[in-house]
């Protein structure tokens, strides 16, 4: 996808952080699967993609002045798209995401509120920003659970779902802290911070045992994470790899439910597709 051949399309793909979009459906599938595999997860996946895209557009709309100083090549400060246009599209996608999640509108509304809280306020407050960003991922999992019970109040949330929400919250918090200085040349996280996602993934072996689901898959997932963490590239490359690794982690949680093999295969395919997209469009 060359900049010369498709300049307008590339602008929007950059705003969308295309590689990261592949990590969104798995959250919803985890929530749907751990709440009983009721109905179809398709509406929730579509709603989630719209809400995620809205968050990204509104983030760039809000950060136009900061990006002009730190990332002048981004679409808005480079003049390739108008800030007002990005803001309007973001607002429209936010509303569309809530409408598409008609069965789980309450979870979608909570997710939309968390997105607005992050983009408009929390991101500028140390500590609160990363916590709210993690909350957005956790609520994305809850959205899948809510849409599995359209027209009904959610049943008591199973411990597997609560643990999955807590895990993805913690993982995104850690990745967000790692990414804190990615715009600074030469910045690098401390070894302890760099390896914290590995330790968190490793701890899932104990979590699965607590859930009475003993499994060696958490150990295998932690092993897959090692090559990403051992790379000595820039912080942006490390963050991109950690975000893409959400897909194997989502597959790991799906092993706790009788999910159809074709669905697991489709989600697994998203991992190499995200890596391929990352070679053309930056994920951060």
CATH number at 247 reads 1.10.600
pLDDT of 2 above 50 = no
Query: Which residues are CB-contacts of 198 (< 8 A; sequence separation ≥ 6)?
Result: 222, 225, 226, 229
Task: Give the confidence band of 5 by pLDDT, cuts at 50, 70, 90.
Answer: very low
How far CA 136 is from CA of 20, 117, 121, 194, 253, in Å, comes to 14, 10, 14, 22, 18
> What is the pLDDT of the chain when averaged over all its residues?
91
Domain count, the chain: 1
At residue 94's C-alpha, the angle toward residues 243 and 97, to 5°, is 80
The residue ranking higher by pLDDT, 185 or 54, is: 54
State both tokens at 257: 């439910």
In a domain, 149, yes or no: yes
If you write DSSP's letter for every residue of 256-282 in order, what string do you get?
A: TTT--HHHHHHHHHHHHHHHHHHTTS-
At residue 60's C-alpha, the angle toward residues 55 and 63, to 5°, is 120
Averaged pLDDT, 262-281: 94
DSSP assigned state of 179:
G
pLDDT value of residue 186 = 60
In a domain, 8, yes or no: no
pLDDT value of residue 147 = 86
Q: What is the pTM of this model?
A: 0.93
Task: Determine phi and psi for 25, rounding to 5 degrees.
Answer: -60, -35
In a domain, 2, yes or no: no
d(Cα 36, Cα 131) in Å, to the nearest integer?
28
pLDDT value of residue 4 = 46
Per-residue model confidence as pLDDT tens digits over 218-243: 999 999 999 999 876 778 889 999 99
Averaged pLDDT, 126-141: 96
Q: State which residues form the domain around 227.
A: 13-278
Helices (H), 152-203: 159-178, 191-202
Q: Rounded to the nearest 10 degrees, what angle do helices 128-146 and 24-33 cross at?
A: 50
pLDDT value of residue 219 = 96
Task: Give the confidence band of 182 by pLDDT, cuts at 50, 70, 90.
Answer: low
pLDDT of 25 above 90 = yes
d(Cα 72, Cα 124) in Å, to the nearest integer?
20
- Cβ-count burial of 17 within 10 angstroms (0-12 exposed, 13-18 middle, 19+ buried)? buried
């Amino acid at each position: 996808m060359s900049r010369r051949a498709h300049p307008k399309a590339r602008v929007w793909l950059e705003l969308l952080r295309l590689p990261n979009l592949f990590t969104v459906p798995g959250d919803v599938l985890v929530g749907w699967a751990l709440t009983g595999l009721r109905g179809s997860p398709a509406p929730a996946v579509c709603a989630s993609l719209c809400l995620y895209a809205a968050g990204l557009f509104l983030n760039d709309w809000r950060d136009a002045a900061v990006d002009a100083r730190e990332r002048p090549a981004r679409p808005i400060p480079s003049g390739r798209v108008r800030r007002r246009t990005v803001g309007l599209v973001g607002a429209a996608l936010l509303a569309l995401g809530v409408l598409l999640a008609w069965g789980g509108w309450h979870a979608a509304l909570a997710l939309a509120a968390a997105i607005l809280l992050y983009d408009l306020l929390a991101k500028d407050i140390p500590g609160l920003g990363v916590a709210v960003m993690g909350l957005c991922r956790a609520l994305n999992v809850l959205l899948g659970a809510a849409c599995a019970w359209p027209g009904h109040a959610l049943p008591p949330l199973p411990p597997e779902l609560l643990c999955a929400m807590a895990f993805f919250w913690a993982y995104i918090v850690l990745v967000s802290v790692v990414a804190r200085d990615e715009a600074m040349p030469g910045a690098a996280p401390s070894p302890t911070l760099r390896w914290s996602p590995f330790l968190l993934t490793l701890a899932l072996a104990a979590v699965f045992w607590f859930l009475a689901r003993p499994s060696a898959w958490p150990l295998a997932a932690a092993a897959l994470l090692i090559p990403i963490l051992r790379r000595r590239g820039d912080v942006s490359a490390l963050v991109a790899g950690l975000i893409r690794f959400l897909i194997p982690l989502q597959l790991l949680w799906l092993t706790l439910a009788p999910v159809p093999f074709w669905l697991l295969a489709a989600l697994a395919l998203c991992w190499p597709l995200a890596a391929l997209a990352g070679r053309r469009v930056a994920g951060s």
